[in-house]
Structure 1
Amino acid sequence: MFYGWRIVGGVFLAQLFVTGFMTYSFGSFMVPLQETFGATRAQVNLGMTIATLTGLIISPILGAMTDRFPVRLLMAAGTLIFCGGLYGMSLSQSIWQFVTLFGVSMSFSALLLGPLVGSTVISRWFNRARGKALGIAAVGTSVGGLVLPVVLGQWIAEDGWRSALENLALIALAMLLPLLLLVMRSHPSDLGLYPDGQTPDGSAPQAPPAIGLKDIIRHPAYWSIGLTIGLLFSVYSALMANLVPYAQGTGISLEAAGALMTVIAGSGLVGKILFGMAADRISLRLGLWIAIGLVLTGLLILQTEPGYPLSVLACISIGLAAGGMLPVWGALLAVIFGVASYGRVMGLMNPLITLLVMPGFVITGHLYDQSGHYHGAFWLYCGVLVVAAVILGRLKMPSPEGIPATAT
């Protein structure tokens, strides 16, 4: 078996833990923290705000470090920060200690153990099977979302939230640290190998050379991709935050509305594999257009308040697209900017995407408060997706010689 698949396994497990906790399990601690500290939900949610703002600052720095320092050391550091943060949170004596520890430690962990470092190293190890490898690694986030909330919920119910955090810290440390130190390698050449495990035959395009931070920001493709992904993520994130109350407003029960989120998570897992494999066979720009089209289709179905069966169909469409976003985005960055600059490009693109995502929650809430329904917000989402598709149309893919892309 090609050693690169071990790299994929390491990234899979890392993303299972960090995304499974930060994205999918944070809500499990909401009520216990309120009861322990007498905190409001706004105070508890401040942890996510701190993590987001901290990530805006450190993402470009860690992205540049990813292109310069050994990946196994960066991911090992991320593991220590993740586990140390979990243990520190378990000892918190006030809500402010908890949210500060969460915000700072999880922002570093999400970058060092998430797609920033993980997609970078996978893109170095794979060329022809890059999309497939990125898709399989991204499945780790879905598995984490399916497993960790259940496990942590059981631990919280039996022994309390402090013990749950301690247990997760110990298990993550025992599983991740030795694996990452032993398995992860920054480049195939570190082991005398080549990408995909195949000796170059001279027919592959020449990889784009490394470029500096200023050149990345000036590059038209940086803005074309960043704006497209940012707008796509903004629609998806705002929709996910409001899907359950939307469904309840159409007469669907709370339990059935919650099941729609599970439908999206399950189809997202499938989408990561399907889009990852397709990314190695079709135009990456076409892959993103398909993802945009699937989300748009789902929104148009939901706009009609169609009842539960068609709502499930809409969520399958949206989930497939959501699963495909990460592997296609990762493969696109590698093809256009090359693996030598991959970490810097993603590190600089993350703040742009975050700035586009953040207003969506407030705008959606405002539109609902003004009208009492989500029709206006959903039509706005559709318009945003059309704009994203148009911006993506400006992107030029690289020439066969591997010269970085431009935009018309």
Structure 2
Amino acid sequence: MSTNRDQAAASPRENRLPGRIYPGWWIVFATASGQLIQGGFVFWSMGLYTATFEDVFGAPRAQINLIETCLTVTTNLLSPVAGILIDRWSIRHLMMIGMTAMGLGLLILSQAGTLFQVWVVWASLIPLGVLLIGAIPSAALISRWFIRRRGLALGLAATGSSLGGFLMPPLMTWMFLEWDWRTGLIVAGCLCFAFLPIFYGLLRNQPADLGLSGEPTAPESLSVDRPDSVAASSASAHHQDWGIPDLLRSRIFWLQMIVSGTLLAVTLGMLANLSLHAKDLGIAGQSTAVLYSVIAVCSFSGKALMGYLMDRLGVQRCGYLICALLSTGLLILLTVQNYTGLLTGAVVMGLGYGGVVPLWTNMPAKAFGAGSVGRALGVMNPLHIPIIATSAPLAGYISDTTGSYNGVFWMYGGCCAVAAIGLTIMGAIMKTPGHH
């Protein structure tokens, strides 16, 4: 059953805005701001938190690392519910609630007197903030505002997380050292509240809220040729309201879960193990830090580049390119085991890393329509757990038993091959009339 919102997104009138910025780009800016806060204050600063709490509370590392477990378990349990709310309610209001939860979480965390209190915050307010200002609401909202340039818009929004990883950890480290960790968290919480006016002023749930019918049409010289069958299937998907049971019965949904899950397993697993591989080669300290900085910079560029290419080449071809970049980076790490090889592999893999999140968020919009993105991503999140959660530990086990990371590189290369096969099958199904 279709909704008015989906119909407006799927069938925009001729809607040119000469001399004006399309308001959808302000949506991209606002959602990128949310991902900057989410990525910068949570994921990229996780190492700073664990090191600080170990010194403050004197607990074993196994207990300290439970903060990440609390975050992961809660976000994945709440993800399907959040996806339903994102598709059914005002994303603008939800993102404001999420930013408020993030700010309150950091403020309350600054007053924690026991490790148990830290766990409670990381299992409640922080996950709520992560879910409601991160990739899922951003993808759902951008998919309503963009069709022709959706890939570029999703890629640019995703750069917010990379920018947060570049800016926020040094800022947090400086505040923790210059003042103290409690004051640093108070300032971080207040910064979250400072972003609320951006959300209130820039976010709108759909183009109709501003009297628009959708994204401006492309000049004929800039139009992109796409297969008629794929375009038709995408248009029909926009007119269908996909419930969770419908998604779980869809072959395309499961293929998207496998493709995104295997690629996320490669990226997260390599991020966790690259420093250990470098250590095995006798490289540590600042040299290892440079590797991660290179990955962050290339990932930032890769998100925008891959998003742009998705609009030109299509999701399937761009997915192949991402698989090729990751595989090439792994091959370099396998064959050139010195610092030059590490740097070169970091550059190539960083570009591939950048494309994974835009690919993950773009696939459901193409297949199921803008009105079902939240549910599709929300249900997909917990299904990723068996694939992603075992990636880094399995890589460590292979390294421990074989004495090197060569087997790990082959394993992750196999994951890229699985993703490429999944993309091929998915493309064949979507070209079949009436596949939904």
TM-score range, shorter chain: over 0.9
Contact 1:397 1:405 survives alignment (8 Å): no
1:40 aligns with 2:71: no
SS at the partner of 2:427? coil
279-288 or 249-258, larger mean C-alpha shift: 249-258
Counting matched residue pairs gives 403
1:156-189 deviation line (CA, Å, top 9, x unaligned): 0011111111000011102x21221222111111
Contact 2:41 2:188 survives alignment (8 Å): no
SS at the partner of 1:127? coil
2:366 corresponds to:
335
Q: Distance in 2 between matches of 1:382 and 1:396?
A: 21
Q: 1:118 aligns with which of 134, 138, 155?
A: 138
Q: Distance in 2 between matches of 1:235 and 1:347?
A: 21
2:274 corresponds to:
243
1:156 corresponds to:
176
1:362 aligns with 2:382: no
Q: Distance in 2 between matches of 1:383 and 1:108?
A: 34
Contact 1:138 1:326 survives alignment (8 Å): yes
2:287 corresponds to:
256
1:83-109 deviation line (CA, Å, top 9, x unaligned): 111011111110111122023222211
Q: Distance in 2 between matches of 1:397 and 1:132?
A: 24
1:242-274 deviation line (CA, Å, top 9, x unaligned): 101101211223221221111111100110111
CA RMSD of aligned residues (A): 2.0
1:266 corresponds to:
297
**How is 1:365-404 mapped onto 2 (pairs within 5 angstroms)?**
365-396=396-427
Deviation at 1:365, TM superposition (A): 1.6
Q: Distance in 2 between matches of 1:173 and 1:348?
A: 29
Q: 1:165 aligns with which of 185, 190, 199?
A: 185
2:199 corresponds to:
180
Q: 2:160 aligns with which of 134, 137, 140?
A: 140
Q: Distance in 1 between matches of 2:243 and 2:163?
A: 36
Q: Which amino acid aligns with 1:311?
A: L
SS at the partner of 1:196? coil
Q: Which amino acid aligns with 2:206?
A: H
Q: Which amino acid aligns with 1:149?
A: P
1:91 corresponds to:
111
SS at the partner of 2:384? helix
1:257-315 deviation line (CA, Å, top 9, x unaligned): 22111111110011011101101111211111111111111111111243222321111
Q: Distance in 1 between matches of 2:138 and 2:111?
A: 30
Q: Distance in 2 between matches of 1:254 and 1:358?
A: 27
Deviation at 1:196, TM superposition (A): 1.6
1:61 corresponds to:
81
TM-score when normalising by structure 2: 0.88
341-350 or 303-312, larger mean C-alpha shift: 303-312
Contact 2:140 2:371 survives alignment (8 Å): no
1:95-133 deviation line (CA, Å, top 9, x unaligned): 111122023222211110001101110011011111111
379-388 or 151-160, larger mean C-alpha shift: 379-388
Deviation at 1:350, TM superposition (A): 1.0
Question: Percent identity, aligned pairs only?
Answer: 33
Deviation at 1:215, TM superposition (A): 0.7
Q: Distance in 2 between matches of 1:95 and 1:386?
A: 42
Q: Distance in 2 between matches of 1:397 and 1:120?
A: 25
Q: Distance in 2 between matches of 1:404 and 1:213?
A: 20
Gaps of 5+ in 1: none
